[in-house]
């Protein structure tokens, strides 16, 4: 959640972070957006790293198929 949000904000701009804070104010999964939350420094660091190009988040949408491939390889069904 934090990585996806940091990636989104780093490409969309700080204004989108303000919108997210407002819309998700009552959602505890987005508490890291609050400055006094213990994960906020990590979130800020991710934004800096993504913007600088030192970090590229990899969002794997096919995690189910990857897990199935790993299972078949373990069983010897290549």
8-63 pLDDT tens trace:
999 999 999 999 999 999 999 999 999 999 999 999 999 999 999 999 988 876 55
Question: Does residue 57 contact residue 50 with C-beta atoms inside 8 Å?
Answer: yes
Confidence check: pLDDT of 74 > 80: no
d(CA 61, CA 63): 6
CATH, domain 2-57, list 1.10.10.790, 3.30.420.40, 3.40.50.970, 3.40.50.11820: 1.10.10.790
Q: State the pLDDT at residue 47.
A: 96
Q: State the pLDDT at residue 9.
A: 95
Confidence check: pLDDT of 65 > 60: no
Q: State the pLDDT at residue 68.
A: 47
**Helix, strand, coil % in the chain, rounded to nearest 5:** 65, 0, 35
């Amino acid at each position: 959640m934090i990585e996806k949000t940091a990636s989104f904000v780093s490409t969309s701009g700080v204004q989108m972070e303000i919108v997210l804070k407002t819309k998700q104010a009552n959602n505890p999964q987005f508490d890291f957006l609050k400055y006094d939350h213990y994960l906020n420094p990590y979130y800020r660091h991710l934004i800096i790293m993504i913007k600088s190009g030192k970090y590229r988040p990899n969002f794997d949408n096919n995690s189910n198929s990857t897990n199935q491939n790993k299972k078949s390889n373990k069983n010897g069904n290549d």
